[in-house]
Amino acid sequence: MSNPIFLALDVPQLEPAKALLSKVKAHIGGVKLGLEFFCAHGAHGMHEIAHFGLPIFLDLKFHDIPNTVAKAMQAIHVHEPAIVTVHASGGRAMMEDAKAAAAEGCKVVAVTMLTSLDTADLAATGVYGSAETQVMRLAELAHEAGLDGIVCSGQEVGMVRKAWKDGFFVVPGLRPAGLANGGGTGDQKRVVTPRQARDNGASVLVIGRPISRAEDPEAAARAIEATL
Protein backbone atom coordinates (compact mmCIF):
# COMPACT_ATOMS: atom_id res chain seq x y z
CA MET A 1 0.00 0.00 0.00
CA SER A 2 1.18 3.51 -0.79
CA ASN A 3 0.90 4.75 2.80
CA PRO A 4 1.51 2.00 5.40
CA ILE A 5 0.53 4.11 8.42
CA PHE A 6 -2.57 2.89 10.27
CA LEU A 7 -3.68 5.24 13.03
CA ALA A 8 -4.54 3.39 16.25
CA LEU A 9 -7.79 5.17 17.03
CA ASP A 10 -8.18 3.81 20.54
CA VAL A 11 -9.93 6.74 22.17
CA PRO A 12 -12.91 6.41 24.52
CA GLN A 13 -15.22 9.00 22.93
CA LEU A 14 -16.50 8.86 19.37
CA GLU A 15 -16.69 12.55 18.45
CA PRO A 16 -13.07 13.30 19.46
CA ALA A 17 -12.04 10.17 17.52
CA LYS A 18 -13.77 11.47 14.41
CA ALA A 19 -12.28 14.94 14.90
CA LEU A 20 -8.79 13.45 15.19
CA LEU A 21 -9.30 11.36 12.08
CA SER A 22 -10.51 14.40 10.15
CA LYS A 23 -7.24 16.18 10.97
CA VAL A 24 -4.86 13.40 9.98
CA LYS A 25 -6.66 11.40 7.28
CA ALA A 26 -4.55 12.88 4.46
CA HIS A 27 -1.38 11.52 6.07
CA ILE A 28 -2.39 7.95 6.95
CA GLY A 29 -3.31 4.87 4.97
CA GLY A 30 -5.85 3.29 7.30
CA VAL A 31 -7.37 3.11 10.77
CA LYS A 32 -6.82 0.53 13.49
CA LEU A 33 -9.79 -0.02 15.79
CA GLY A 34 -8.99 -2.08 18.87
CA LEU A 35 -10.72 -3.42 21.92
CA GLU A 36 -11.18 -0.05 23.62
CA PHE A 37 -12.89 1.49 20.60
CA PHE A 38 -14.99 -1.57 19.74
CA CYS A 39 -16.19 -2.12 23.32
CA ALA A 40 -17.08 1.56 23.68
CA HIS A 41 -18.73 2.18 20.32
CA GLY A 42 -19.47 -1.19 18.70
CA ALA A 43 -21.04 -1.44 15.26
CA HIS A 44 -22.24 2.16 15.31
CA GLY A 45 -18.72 3.44 15.89
CA MET A 46 -17.30 1.32 13.09
CA HIS A 47 -20.01 2.61 10.76
CA GLU A 48 -19.10 6.20 11.63
CA ILE A 49 -15.40 5.60 10.99
CA ALA A 50 -16.14 3.78 7.72
CA HIS A 51 -17.54 7.06 6.35
CA PHE A 52 -13.98 8.36 6.11
CA GLY A 53 -13.28 5.84 3.34
CA LEU A 54 -10.07 4.43 4.82
CA PRO A 55 -9.27 0.71 5.21
CA ILE A 56 -10.15 -0.55 8.69
CA PHE A 57 -7.92 -2.85 10.68
CA LEU A 58 -10.13 -4.52 13.30
CA ASP A 59 -7.72 -5.50 16.05
CA LEU A 60 -9.82 -7.74 18.30
CA LYS A 61 -7.20 -10.46 18.79
CA PHE A 62 -9.62 -13.39 18.73
CA HIS A 63 -8.46 -16.27 20.96
CA ASP A 64 -10.93 -19.04 21.76
CA ILE A 65 -11.89 -22.52 20.59
CA PRO A 66 -11.91 -22.84 16.78
CA ASN A 67 -15.71 -22.87 16.40
CA THR A 68 -16.18 -19.74 18.50
CA VAL A 69 -13.49 -17.83 16.61
CA ALA A 70 -14.96 -18.89 13.27
CA LYS A 71 -18.43 -17.67 14.32
CA ALA A 72 -16.96 -14.37 15.54
CA MET A 73 -15.14 -13.95 12.24
CA GLN A 74 -18.40 -14.50 10.35
CA ALA A 75 -20.18 -12.00 12.60
CA ILE A 76 -17.83 -9.17 11.60
CA HIS A 77 -18.30 -9.65 7.83
CA VAL A 78 -20.84 -6.84 7.89
CA HIS A 79 -18.14 -4.38 8.95
CA GLU A 80 -15.94 -5.23 5.94
CA PRO A 81 -12.59 -4.95 7.75
CA ALA A 82 -9.45 -5.03 5.64
CA ILE A 83 -7.41 -6.74 8.39
CA VAL A 84 -8.41 -8.80 11.45
CA THR A 85 -6.22 -10.24 14.21
CA VAL A 86 -6.26 -13.55 16.03
CA HIS A 87 -3.78 -14.83 18.62
CA ALA A 88 -1.28 -17.30 17.19
CA SER A 89 -1.15 -19.01 20.59
CA GLY A 90 -4.72 -20.18 19.95
CA GLY A 91 -3.20 -22.93 17.82
CA ARG A 92 -3.22 -24.10 14.23
CA ALA A 93 -6.83 -25.36 14.12
CA MET A 94 -8.15 -22.07 15.47
CA MET A 95 -6.17 -20.09 12.91
CA GLU A 96 -7.25 -22.34 10.06
CA ASP A 97 -10.91 -21.93 10.99
CA ALA A 98 -10.49 -18.17 11.37
CA LYS A 99 -9.06 -17.86 7.88
CA ALA A 100 -11.71 -20.13 6.39
CA ALA A 101 -14.48 -18.03 7.96
CA ALA A 102 -13.02 -14.64 7.00
CA ALA A 103 -14.62 -12.57 4.27
CA GLU A 104 -13.00 -12.60 0.85
CA GLY A 105 -10.24 -10.01 0.67
CA CYS A 106 -9.89 -9.70 4.45
CA LYS A 107 -6.36 -10.37 5.67
CA VAL A 108 -6.16 -12.48 8.81
CA VAL A 109 -2.96 -11.93 10.77
CA ALA A 110 -1.76 -13.65 13.92
CA VAL A 111 -0.49 -11.80 16.97
CA THR A 112 2.76 -13.47 17.98
CA MET A 113 4.10 -11.63 21.03
CA LEU A 114 2.71 -8.36 22.36
CA THR A 115 5.15 -5.45 22.11
CA SER A 116 4.58 -4.76 25.82
CA LEU A 117 6.35 -8.05 26.64
CA ASP A 118 9.99 -9.05 26.73
CA THR A 119 11.89 -12.29 27.34
CA ALA A 120 11.47 -12.03 31.13
CA ASP A 121 7.70 -11.69 30.71
CA LEU A 122 7.66 -14.81 28.54
CA ALA A 123 9.50 -16.77 31.22
CA ALA A 124 6.97 -15.66 33.82
CA THR A 125 4.25 -17.34 31.75
CA GLY A 126 6.25 -20.55 31.39
CA VAL A 127 7.59 -19.87 27.89
CA TYR A 128 11.38 -20.03 27.81
CA GLY A 129 13.72 -18.75 25.14
CA SER A 130 14.18 -15.37 23.50
CA ALA A 131 11.47 -13.13 22.09
CA GLU A 132 12.89 -13.82 18.62
CA THR A 133 12.55 -17.57 19.10
CA GLN A 134 8.94 -17.28 20.26
CA VAL A 135 7.96 -14.94 17.42
CA MET A 136 9.55 -17.21 14.81
CA ARG A 137 7.89 -20.30 16.30
CA LEU A 138 4.44 -18.71 16.14
CA ALA A 139 5.07 -17.18 12.72
CA GLU A 140 5.84 -20.62 11.33
CA LEU A 141 2.61 -21.95 12.86
CA ALA A 142 0.59 -19.09 11.36
CA HIS A 143 2.17 -19.70 7.96
CA GLU A 144 1.34 -23.40 8.14
CA ALA A 145 -2.26 -22.49 9.08
CA GLY A 146 -2.64 -20.48 5.89
CA LEU A 147 -2.88 -17.02 7.44
CA ASP A 148 -1.85 -13.92 5.53
CA GLY A 149 0.77 -12.80 8.01
CA ILE A 150 1.55 -11.90 11.59
CA VAL A 151 1.82 -9.05 14.07
CA CYS A 152 5.27 -8.64 15.60
CA SER A 153 7.62 -5.91 16.74
CA GLY A 154 9.98 -4.10 14.40
CA GLN A 155 12.84 -5.94 16.04
CA GLU A 156 11.66 -9.29 14.67
CA VAL A 157 9.97 -8.43 11.38
CA GLY A 158 13.17 -8.59 9.31
CA MET A 159 13.95 -12.07 10.58
CA VAL A 160 10.43 -13.31 9.85
CA ARG A 161 10.32 -11.77 6.37
CA LYS A 162 13.44 -13.69 5.37
CA ALA A 163 11.59 -16.94 6.10
CA TRP A 164 8.14 -15.81 4.85
CA LYS A 165 8.93 -13.72 1.82
CA ASP A 166 5.33 -13.05 0.71
CA GLY A 167 3.91 -12.56 4.21
CA PHE A 168 1.93 -9.54 5.38
CA PHE A 169 3.54 -8.03 8.46
CA VAL A 170 1.85 -5.65 10.90
CA VAL A 171 4.19 -3.80 13.25
CA PRO A 172 2.89 -1.88 16.32
CA GLY A 173 4.85 -0.37 19.20
CA LEU A 174 6.50 2.26 17.02
CA ARG A 175 8.00 5.51 18.23
CA PRO A 176 9.50 8.30 16.08
CA ALA A 177 13.23 9.05 16.30
CA GLY A 178 14.00 10.57 19.69
CA LEU A 179 11.27 8.60 21.42
CA ALA A 180 12.34 5.08 20.44
CA ASN A 181 15.57 5.14 22.46
CA GLY A 182 14.33 5.07 26.02
CA GLY A 183 12.10 8.13 26.16
CA GLY A 184 8.36 8.24 25.62
CA THR A 185 7.93 4.52 25.02
CA GLY A 186 5.15 4.13 27.61
CA ASP A 187 4.22 0.47 28.11
CA GLN A 188 6.07 -0.66 24.99
CA LYS A 189 9.31 -2.59 25.43
CA ARG A 190 10.44 -3.74 21.97
CA VAL A 191 10.27 -0.51 19.98
CA VAL A 192 11.81 0.83 16.78
CA THR A 193 11.12 3.87 14.63
CA PRO A 194 8.57 3.74 11.80
CA ARG A 195 11.38 4.09 9.24
CA GLN A 196 13.33 1.20 10.76
CA ALA A 197 10.24 -1.02 10.78
CA ARG A 198 9.50 -0.21 7.15
CA ASP A 199 13.10 -0.88 6.15
CA ASN A 200 12.98 -4.19 8.02
CA GLY A 201 9.97 -5.33 5.98
CA ALA A 202 6.81 -4.11 7.72
CA SER A 203 3.69 -4.01 5.52
CA VAL A 204 1.64 -1.94 7.97
CA LEU A 205 2.86 0.48 10.64
CA VAL A 206 0.44 0.87 13.56
CA ILE A 207 0.97 4.24 15.24
CA GLY A 208 -1.20 5.60 18.03
CA ARG A 209 -0.01 7.85 20.83
CA PRO A 210 2.79 9.62 18.90
CA ILE A 211 -0.01 11.02 16.70
CA SER A 212 -3.15 10.97 18.84
CA ARG A 213 -1.51 12.56 21.89
CA ALA A 214 0.68 15.00 19.98
CA GLU A 215 0.16 18.72 20.51
CA ASP A 216 -0.51 18.96 16.77
CA PRO A 217 -1.68 15.52 15.51
CA GLU A 218 -1.71 16.59 11.85
CA ALA A 219 1.88 17.84 12.02
CA ALA A 220 2.94 14.68 13.84
CA ALA A 221 1.33 12.43 11.24
CA ARG A 222 2.81 14.48 8.41
CA ALA A 223 6.28 14.33 9.97
CA ILE A 224 6.11 10.54 10.35
CA GLU A 225 4.82 10.13 6.80
CA ALA A 226 7.75 12.24 5.54
CA THR A 227 10.27 9.78 7.05
CA LEU A 228 8.88 6.94 4.95
Nearest one of 41, 138, 44, 18 to 89, comparing CA atoms: 138
CB 167 within 8 A of CB 136: no
Largest CA distance in the chain: 45
Torsional sign, CA 142, 108, 94, 123: positive
Which of 32, 61, 71, 99 is flagged as catalytic? 61
What are the residues facing 57 on neighbouring strands?
32, 83
Angle between helices 92-101 and 66-75 (to 10 degrees): 20
Rounded Cα–Cα distance for residues 188 and 180 (Å): 10
61 is catalytic: yes
Residues identified as active-site? 61
